């Protein structure tokens, strides 16, 4: 039997160390700890896929909490079944000792409780994700109502560029002269000419 650890955070600027430290304390070797810095919306994660390929019957997968495995209710249930039933490996959730499939051979009640807890926690994980998305959407809507603008800031044109563009639009100078004076490439120059003509400056 080999014990593996899997850690995940959603963003590259988030820290994995707390999860990894809990695995090391549990006795898992560093070389058997896999981690991803990617959203838990699905299981398309490079290190996670590597880990699952290594899992064999009798192995143990340790995760810190159920939402580190994923955040989609249906996918978590399906992935849990794939690991425990198809691959024959066990799963232990450190923050929720009831979620330990190693108890499944001991009592039917233990298996029943584990399944119920898994479904409840998987639902909670997805529900929290949807709540976060809703809060973000509400925040953006309120910010827009208050005049906050999102996206790339509009380019501020210099008086010199406006003068060159105006001379070109009014055919006082050639395209070649306009490009030389502005230092812009042709495609980029035409892009800004269109914006100036449309008044989006």
Active site residues: 10
Buried b (16+ CB within 10 A) or exposed e, 158-192: eeebeebbeebeeeebeeeebbebbebeeeebeeb
Residue 102: count other Cβ atoms within 10 Å of its Cβ.
12
What count of residues does the chain have?
201
Q: Is-contact 192 157, C-beta < 8 A?
A: yes
Dihedral sign (CA 145, 153, 139, 43): positive
CA distances from 101 to 27, 45, 70 (A): 18, 24, 18
Residue 120: count other Cβ atoms within 10 Å of its Cβ.
12
Q: Is-contact 122 115, C-beta < 8 A?
A: no
């Amino acid at each position: 039997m080999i014990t593996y650890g899997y850690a995940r955070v959603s963003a590259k600027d988030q820290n994995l160390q707390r999860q990894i430290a809990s695995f090391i304390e549990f006795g898992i070797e560093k070389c058997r700890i896999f981690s991803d810095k990617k959203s838990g919306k699905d299981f398309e994660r490079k290190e996670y896929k590597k880990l699952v390929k290594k899992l064999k019957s009798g192995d143990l997968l340790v995760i810190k909490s159920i939402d580190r495995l994923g955040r989609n209710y249906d996918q978590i249930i399906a992935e849990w079944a794939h690991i425990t039933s198809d691959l024959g490996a066990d799963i232990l959730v450190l923050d929720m000792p009831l979620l330990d499939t190693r108890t499944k051979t001991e009592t039917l009640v233990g298996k029943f409780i584990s399944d119920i807890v898994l479904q409840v926690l998987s639902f909670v994980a997805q529900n929290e994700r949807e709540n976060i998305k809703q809060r973000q959407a509400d925040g953006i809507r309120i910010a827009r109502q208050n005049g906050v603008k999102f996206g790339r800031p509009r380019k501020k044109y210099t008086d010199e560029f406006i003068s060159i563009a105006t001379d070109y639009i009014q055919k006082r100078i050639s395209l070649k002269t306009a490009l030389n004076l502005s230092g812009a490439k042709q495609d980029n120059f035409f892009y800004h000419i269109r914006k100036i003509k449309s008044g989006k400056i």
